[in-house]
Structure formats: C-alpha cells, structure tokens
Amino acid sequence: MLILLDQDGVLADFELGFHNAWQTKMGHKHPALSPAERRAFYVRDDYPKEFREEVEEIYTASGFFRDLPAISGAMEAVRHLLTLGHDVRICTSPLNQYRNCVPEKYEWVERHLGPDFVHRMIVTKDKTVVHGDVLVDDKPVITGTRHPNWKHVLFDQPYNRHVDGLRMTWETWRNALMVDESRSQGTDSKTS
C-alpha cells in the first residue's frame, strides 16, 4: 500500500506544542486551551478573536514547527509500516506563512525519522493531486481539485469527532489500515 501520512496532528504534536508555547507567552492574559478542549480544526478559531494575531505569532515563530514533540507511538508505527513493506510518505500542507514552517517541517522529519525519510516528503496545499491508497489525516474533510483515489482515514483528535468515518490512533492503526502482518510474521517464523 502507498500510505500518505499527514504531518501535523498525526506525526507531530501541533496541539501540545501550541498549548505549551501559549501558556508560556500568553497564559497570563488568557489561559491555554488544553488539547482535549480543542473543537475547531484551526486553533485560531478556538481562541477569542482579539487574540488572532497572537495565535498566529506563536505558530509562525522561528522554531515552532521544528521543536514540536512527536505524537506518542507515531515514530514506532511508521517504522513498523515500512518493515511490513508499505510505501509510506508524508503528505503535508504548509501554512500560507511558509518561511519558517516549510523548512522546519523538513528539519522535523530529518530529526525524528532520519535524513532518508526526508525524501518521502510531499508538500502540497492540494492533497487530492497525490496518488495513494490511504491518507491518514486529522483534518475533518479534505478538499481539492480532484476526486482523490486514496481513502481518507481520520486521525482521531478532539476537534474532528463530529465527523463520521474510519478513524484511527497510533494505538489502533493496525485495524484501521487493515495491515496484513502475516508477511513479517512469516519472515519471523522462518528465522525462528
């Protein structure tokens, strides 16, 4: 399978990174929403309108994307998918304010998955033009110019629970992706 994985909210913990940065820089003016309290896909829509500029300042700041923590279990699952023989790519949309975001997405992947994995990155605003069997993405609905040939598997987040459909976490990915582990098990049994 050609498996496309979104980066922020699936591999990189944008929510935790934002929460911590807001609490440090702005917590004295307005408390940070905990990741569990988030309801809108775009974090700016979950804070009062008068803080819009401050919200954007946080996620466009130098180092924000580079220093995001990895979502628990994600790196291990990605490596597991590769050992199962799947073709795994990162398919990510940059911010309109691309100057820090885009190169730091590359740095993040290099740091967490190694320099070879950087070659697996596809950076595009329109994910419907990318081939794949599956796209794992936390965005509730993914639109673009084409009818995509991938199946959208929703990566479970508090802000997408109003959407029906197949969903997964890095605890439940084996069932959601219907990954056949017999191949690697077969290999194991031959060597045991």
Q: Where are the beta strands (DSSP E) in 12-118?
A: 87-92
Distance in Å, CB of 131 to a copy of itself, minimum = 5
Distance in Å, CB of 130 to a copy of itself, minimum = 6
Active site includes 8? yes
Give the interface segment with a copy of itself, choosing from 11-19, 52-60, 63-71, 102-110 (CB under 8 A).
102-110
What part of residues 68-87 is at the interface with a copy of itself (CB under 8 A)? 87
In angstroms, the CA 45 to CA 38 distance is 10
Buried b (16+ CB within 10 A) or exposed e, 36-55: eebeeeebeeebeeebeeeb
Find the binder of a copy of itself among 29, 111, 125, 151 (CB under 8 A). 125
Burial of residue 59 (number of CB atoms within 10 Å: 0-12, 13-18, 19+)? buried
Q: Locate 19 and state its tokens.
A: 């929460």
Pick 19 or 89: Cβ nearer a copy of itself: 89
The set of catalytic residues is: 6, 8
Task: Give residues in contact with a copy of itself (CB under 8 A).
Answer: 2, 87, 89, 94, 96, 98-99, 102-103, 106-107, 115, 118-126, 129-132, 145-146
